[in-house]
Structure 1
């Protein structure tokens, strides 16, 4: 999936399904519980497995290995399948949230312009990339996240309307009447991963165009039809982007407060997290692991882990404090994991956000999350993955290719490890 465009050109499907001219899977209407409907679900999985070796959970919520594609459908209507694609790194669509074809040169995707390479086309290609980059941020990232967070463009936040699952009577809910937003939590977590890249994109845009400058109309665009008109305003996008970051950063504290209320009610999620905490503590003891874990203020929705750097590695001697915040809607909303100890690492963002992917078959198992965090810290030779660029500066050093880049990275990492020992709270 890295940097590639997937087109499904010909499909034989034993179900009421068709594939559009651009590879879009369309499932035809039919009885909800019919045999053909069930076959449609199998067909979708088959198509996905051709690209991703193993869909890793139930057909009603297909979780695929990796981080670039997510697919989901409701049991109430498996004919309506939603898919989300993360925009490839180093394209105008970088880390946007899409349902479309993507490439480094989108100009060539237009019918009749596949081989256009005159000087005028090269100028138009650059102009087209500039406005797609701007609109990728504005529409696919900023507008989407503002909608999820109840934020208006001026920064005013409306109530999210989220409710504790234990307060909801499932019998009173018509599932088909509830907006289907399966990627809300995923987009929030990926936003935290890619925040520094979004800011870098804005700085690049500011260096190329001026606020208020009009988009250039392409030769394949026509007024009042398919024209992408507008003006650049990266200053405004940056302000809105920072508002989104502040709103997402505030959610874990709200979860902690909701979690204490859930604990007092002995809600299902609170009891489950408390039980899992006790199991993890026992597991650490049995394995004779040096790491420590405790609940902040006795709250099962806030875990604090002390990670001891593995001997004979760049982390040797380091002491790192890691906080895991859980939502009362866990596991539908996955934990937010942040390193409170400063560390310079290619899988840890500047604000401490950890970039990891737990076992998709065990998303509800907190231990699998902890194991995934420890795994990326202790990985000796990680493979380059442009979808996991959460610390652009560290990533450039680690995979930059220049002779001294890796040495510079190791020195920065070691300095942060030494600092972690000095700064660790008593």
Structure 2
């Protein structure tokens, strides 16, 4: 592969990683940018909502006998894309995304498209991922060729049970080694096995921490979706068969929403335990004088000094039990804002594997806010992952922003979000509830 092609791929990877799109993630091993792993988070208000769908992207190595760029080399030619969230090759999530991993998309050359829909070198990795994400629609049955006018919602009902079970629950259970309490015959999700089942080389797990953090963000949405479906489907009712199903592309099973709800709760509890365990691991790291302990101690001291000189923001920052792996941030609401007069205690749990594993943020002081879940989990995104000052700034910005752009991927309190972006009367109710929680914070 030419240097020009490698530079292009490297640039595109970097742009996606630095970008603000919370629904896309990419990673590769340092030794070879030709083999990329991509994660697409399912769009809100669809059967794929906040599911974790993983793909491999392989850029072919061009071979030219003339010393120039080969016609088969990226970006002249599209990369090959394989879906690997397939339940070990057993589940087809979408008419265009097959159980065997095939992704049918005109820009990839895997499906005949209209004129102008074919691949061009002006497109890139991000446009491919966005195109795949667009297949994850509210009614994916419409993607099936020949069924453009179909009104059936069979597939939607099936997806609403299968998608969270495989793309979220079994993935997280695999990450956390949870195997108890699941129905007989259900295997623990293993992305590495899915990876190998699609005949792609060595296992690679770059999205483990990202999925854990996003699970905590979207836990309330997962539970709300399950509760809604529980009202419509009895446990053990069979899935409806979709017209496009056939040998090798069958979605078999029964609705088991009560079980899914218990499994979601178990994952949430396990993730909370994991964050709490970092305190003891941190104390051991301090005793052993590990570099991560001194790094976090130094960052803490620098941030404290920095905010002493910052008159615009009033906060207290201290280490819990003098442990550099557990920080307590007390944020005082600024005058003339909705948080005016509030006092908010926020705990920051840090892993000995930081920054590969990012902090867990927990509001100990209840607050009614669209970016804070009912259980106190804050949705925020730091620009510089390795810099804890950037995390503190992002935490404050997420809480204080009064006119945010609408982005459903950042809304982790469904009730608050519905009011904030509802009618003028809804917005007034949101402000009243927020102000009440601010007043309660001082008691």
Alignment partner, residue 343 of structure 2: 319
Q: TM-score when scaled to structure 1? A: 0.78
Unpaired stretches in structure 2, ≥5 consecutive residues: 55-131, 184-199
SS at match of 1:273: helix
Identify the match of residue 282 of structure 1 among 288, 305, 308. 305
1:3-402 to 2 correspondences below 5 Å: 15=1, 36=2, 38-45=3-10, 55=15, 62-99=17-54, 101-113=135-147, 115-117=148-150, 122=151, 125-154=152-181, 179-222=203-246, 224-288=247-311, 289-359=313-383, 362-400=384-422, 402=423
Distance of aligned partners of 1:267 and 1:46 in 2 relative to their CA distance in 1, 3 Å threshold: closer
Alignment partner, residue 62 of structure 2: none
- The Cα offsets for residues 296-338 of structure 1, whole Å up to 9 and x where unpaired, read as 0000000000000010111000000010000000000000011
Does the Cα contact within 8 Å between 2:182 and 2:259 map onto a contact in 1? no
SS at match of 1:253: helix
Alignment partner, residue 159 of structure 1: none
Whole-angstrom CA distance in 2 between matches of 1:91 and 1:138? 15
SS at match of 1:421: coil
Does the Cα contact within 8 Å between 1:155 and 1:243 map onto a contact in 2? no
- 188-197 or 224-233: bigger deviation: 224-233
Moved over 6 A (4+): none
SS at match of 1:81: strand
Does the Cα contact within 8 Å between 2:345 and 2:365 map onto a contact in 1? yes
Residue 116 of structure 1, CA deviation:
2.6
Q: Does 1:407 align with 2:362?
A: no
Residue 140 of structure 1, CA deviation:
0.1
Whole-angstrom CA distance in 2 between matches of 1:77 and 1:153? 38
SS at match of 2:34: strand
Q: TM-score when scaled to structure 2? A: 0.75
Residue 43 of structure 1, CA deviation:
3.0
Whole-angstrom CA distance in 2 between matches of 1:188 and 1:39? 36
SS at match of 1:294: strand
- The Cα offsets for residues 53-110 of structure 1, whole Å up to 9 and x where unpaired, read as x717xxxxx4432311000001123221000011100001000011454111100112
SS at match of 1:376: helix
Whole-angstrom CA distance in 2 between matches of 1:404 and 1:76? 56
Unpaired stretches in structure 1, ≥5 consecutive residues: 1-14, 16-35, 49-53, 57-61, 157-175
Distance of aligned partners of 1:416 and 1:178 in 2 relative to their CA distance in 1, 3 Å threshold: farther
Whole-angstrom CA distance in 1 between matches of 2:43 and 2:6? 27
Does the Cα contact within 8 Å between 2:176 and 2:270 map onto a contact in 1? yes
May I ask how many residue pairs the two structures share in their alignment?
Answer: 347
Distance of aligned partners of 1:63 and 1:147 in 2 relative to their CA distance in 1, 3 Å threshold: farther
Whole-angstrom CA distance in 1 between matches of 2:367 and 2:167? 31
Does the Cα contact within 8 Å between 1:86 and 1:96 map onto a contact in 2? yes
Alignment partner, residue 85 of structure 2: none
Distance of aligned partners of 1:184 and 1:41 in 2 relative to their CA distance in 1, 3 Å threshold: farther
Alignment partner, residue 416 of structure 1: 437
Whole-angstrom CA distance in 2 between matches of 1:339 and 1:40? 46
Distance of aligned partners of 1:178 and 1:418 in 2 relative to their CA distance in 1, 3 Å threshold: farther
